[in-house]
Amino acid sequence: MTNFGEEALKRHKQLKGKISVSLKDNLDSRDKLSTYYTPGVATVSSYVAEHPNEARDYTWLNNSVAVISDGSAVLGLGDIGPYGALPVMEGKAMLFKHFANIDAVPIVLDVHSADEIVAAVTAIAPSFGGINLEDIAAPICFEVEERVKEVLNIPVMHDDQHGTAIVVLAGLINAMKITGKNLSDCRVVVVGAGAAGTAIIKLLYLYAEPEILAIDSKGIVSHDRSDLNHDKKKLLEFTNPKNINGNLENALKDADIFIGVSKAGVLTTAMVKSMSKDPIIFAMANPTPEIMPDEAVKAGVAIMATGRSDFPNQVNNALAFPGIFRGALDNKVAKITDKHKIAAAEVIASLVENPSKDAIIPSVLDERLVPEIAKVIV
């Protein structure tokens, strides 16, 4: 069996990274050099300066995205700083290019306050057609995304939040078809009230208004808690209408759906058995999920999804973000909205023609994903 960690170290060192810049034409004559650079480029610069709205027609703004992180919440590794984040941002840029033919540039910032990140992103934004925020820790990530979206007139998305939420919704749409349940009638328990968990809660509520309970490290997020920060207080607008208190075990009794974006091992077989008939488990902690699939199946789970590629039903952000940005760039969409996210989720779900317990989400390698999602980002 391949040791992917060792193989990754070997290949990254051999290639010295995994992305590079390519040219759309070659400089094989003096005429071309004079056309693309001085003196010819001065005419282009003057024209674009006078007609800034046409910049995307004369530069790479029509097909470029900045992938930006401060390294404060990288994968499951935590705050490992900008250098630690760079291989992941390069990987994200690689996915943009491979799946959507978008020229993405990895940018890591050695600043960590909301003010500093917003200032840095907005300062470099004129160089890009879109901004993909990545691996920025909660709760700062919420403020950063909202403030950047307010001041920029190009598509901005924090993929850790919204990419995950979109794919979760897509999977649940098909899970409902298999189990015969209605999402609006379900009790959903979301474990992990950070970036991904918050976005999942908001998108599910907007789509179907199910009863949702959010769980953080101290238990159920409720009105009786005095330790909630601003963002967790806002979660109460979408969760816990009955003001239930307690822990995960209390929350899961008779629940229909478990969504985990937390840590390994928090879900036990006893908890699964306490859920309603045909429970649905999305255990997305990486690399080890909240419960292993074999344990969940023994406990009676109807549908199981994880964040891993070696199990069925991988919840992978790469199903969503390439097509969303492809559509936003091609259709000149300035803001990625909740309507776009729901439309993308419905498209992803529709690409599974015959959903089954082991096939509720299409493969990330499905070539239909990007063009079909791009069509609805208008």
- 37 catalytic, yes or no? yes
Catalytic, out of 92, 149, 202, 341: 92
- Non-local (6+) Cβ contacts of 114 within 8 A are 140, 143, 144, 147
DSSP character at residue 78: B
Core vs surface per residue 90-119: b (16+ CB within 10 A) or e: bbbbbbbbebbebbbbbbbbeebebeebbe
**CA separation (Å) from 366 to 67, 102, 154, 174, 361?**
23, 17, 27, 17, 10
Contact 304, 283 (CB under 8 A): yes
Catalytic, out of 10, 32, 37, 83: 37
Q: How far apart are CA 155 and CA 45, in angstroms?
A: 24
Core vs surface per residue 234-252: b (16+ CB within 10 A) or e: ebbebbbeeebeeebeebb
Core vs surface per residue 8-31: b (16+ CB within 10 A) or e: eeeeeeeeeeebeeeeeeeeeeee
Task: Give the active site residues.
Answer: 37, 92
